[in-house]
Structure 1
């Protein structure tokens, strides 16, 4: 027996949606009936969810797919972009590790100064706009990228599955960029410096945790894959710790506390926006803790790391 994700009715032969992975009863099995994220992903593609009862649907019909269509990029099933649909979590994880490798190559083959200019979002050079994005994928140490990868691997897949790849990508990049800018903004504006330049996907990772906290505050997270704790407790602990250090020691332990705090807040706000149309499982195994799921090394120290 399984419960419908929408109405909770127990079904001996439930329907599993191949687009969002949810479990539904007969009344909610169609994507239109459970507000499937796939509907948003395919909204530019014409009638994708053909139930088989509507004979007026023309399977060969096509519609304007926007910019991608005008550029000649196939966004349909089997097309170029189809490989990224539902896989943006892994795309971002791959970009993180590729970027980290490029950091090492640039630092060793050229100079730490060039590495700073390419990958570090710093208060001295806030108009190096490329670093707004590259800094999200760059990291300060192997331990830093390892911890962020764990958070994103487990939490990212859940969020992407239930909000869709398009919204997931926007949330990840948007929260990562805004969190980084928030870390350097006080010094840029002439106020107290919160630390040196910043790198890392901690802001984006914590935004994902914030989303899941709103959607299901009782979601069980296994800290270090062993200790069970509700996600609201971990998120609350992260907020308290980050806020404390922002006030008393913004660069303590080499962590971007303001970026962490802003990332969580963005996630909580986004979670409020989507909570009525998504559902998630009751537990997930994950390694990390309230002291900073993004791991140490959030702010980028000047010089070699």
Structure 2
């Protein structure tokens, strides 16, 4: 069950506005019915406003321009239209596919594993590892990939719904690469040679964004200890800083990568804060799912 943000009516199948992130009943589902902030951005010379509920309205693009924006266009008819609203799940799938490929390489040509999947101080110019290392995880510890997958699954969908699939893609890949580079940069300064891999930097960037957007969101530490997300973020900052400066830290953890990821997320969260309202509840699917290139997918029900 969910309640309408306007009238408070309980709804079994609420509508979620992708422009402001609010939850509404059938009477207030249209942007003009709930005073949607997105109406302020109505700048369509053809007079068509895409409410996010009518699949017959085509996405005409707009916003940023350039070849990269076109390549990452997840709107209706764009080259990544199938992934609109679903990049969180795409990244989760790539993580497990990469994990399987790691084992294939380890069993067939183990000497190539680090060169393909690990970003390291010894080979910082292996540019492909800036990104493959995001999706690769420790082959000897299944908990490494599972922990990151849990964080990305629950929090990534909320952030993607808020900032859009294209920006979420850039945030995930950019923060993951910067986290890896930050980790090996610190190691190079400290004279270390251990490489890094894992999506922790990207996952903590997502956590940082959500902390800024909704600091009071309650999460369950170890699945049963309720804490506000801001407290969880502060805890990660303290642990990461301690590890970077040589204080007490958890062994085998890329503390610099965690810290860089968090800082990127916090900074980006400040940039996008206030664009629209955050959902007032955690949901499976995060609003609208991706469909084919001919149109958006169907919304998913609330958790």
The TM-score, its normalising length taken from structure 2, stands at: 0.75
Distance change >3 Å, CA 30–CA 156, structure 1 → 2? farther
- In the TM superposition, 1:226-237 aligns within 5 A as 226-237=224-235
Alpha-carbon distance, 1:50 to partner: 5.1
1:271 aligns with 2:273: no
Alpha-carbon distance, 1:224 to partner: 2.4
Aligned to 1:214: 212
Aligned to 2:7: 10
SS of residue paired to 2:223: coil
Alpha-carbon distance, 1:132 to partner: 0.3
Alpha-carbon distance, 1:12 to partner: 3.8
Aligned to 2:81: 82
1:105 aligns with 2:104: yes
Aligned to 1:92: 91
Alpha-carbon distance, 1:48 to partner: 6.2
Encode CA deviations 1:188-217: one digit per residue, 9 max, x unaligned: 4xx214661000000000011111111111
Distance change >3 Å, CA 84–CA 70, structure 1 → 2? closer
SS of residue paired to 2:245: helix
Counterpart CA distance in 2 for 1:60 and 1:78 is: 8
Aligned to 1:241: 239
Counterpart CA distance in 2 for 1:70 and 1:244 is: 42
Alpha-carbon distance, 1:280 to partner: 2.6
Alpha-carbon distance, 1:225 to partner: 2.2
Counterpart among 186, 190, 205 of residue 192 in structure 1: 190
Greater alpha carbon shift after TM alignment, 150-159 vs 135-144? 135-144
Aligned to 2:253: 255
Alpha-carbon distance, 1:223 to partner: 1.7
Check the 8 A contact 1:220/1:282 in 2, yes or no: no
Encode CA deviations 1:142-183: one digit per residue, 9 max, x unaligned: 110010000000000010011110111111111000011000
* Structure 1 unaligned spans of 5+: 52-58, 286-305
1:136 aligns with 2:137: no
Distance change >3 Å, CA 31–CA 222, structure 1 → 2? farther
Check the 8 A contact 2:205/2:262 in 1, yes or no: yes
Counterpart CA distance in 2 for 1:27 and 1:130 is: 45
Check the 8 A contact 1:163/1:278 in 2, yes or no: no
Encode CA deviations 1:194-247: one digit per residue, 9 max, x unaligned: 661000000000011111111111100012221111001100011011111111
Check the 8 A contact 2:135/2:198 in 1, yes or no: yes
Distance change >3 Å, CA 48–CA 135, structure 1 → 2? farther
Aligned to 2:160: 160
Higher relative contact order (CA 8 A, sep 6+): 2
Distance change >3 Å, CA 31–CA 110, structure 1 → 2? farther
Provide the alpha-carbon RMSD of the alignment: 3.7
Check the 8 A contact 1:194/1:250 in 2, yes or no: no
Distance change >3 Å, CA 47–CA 251, structure 1 → 2? farther
SS of residue paired to 2:274: helix
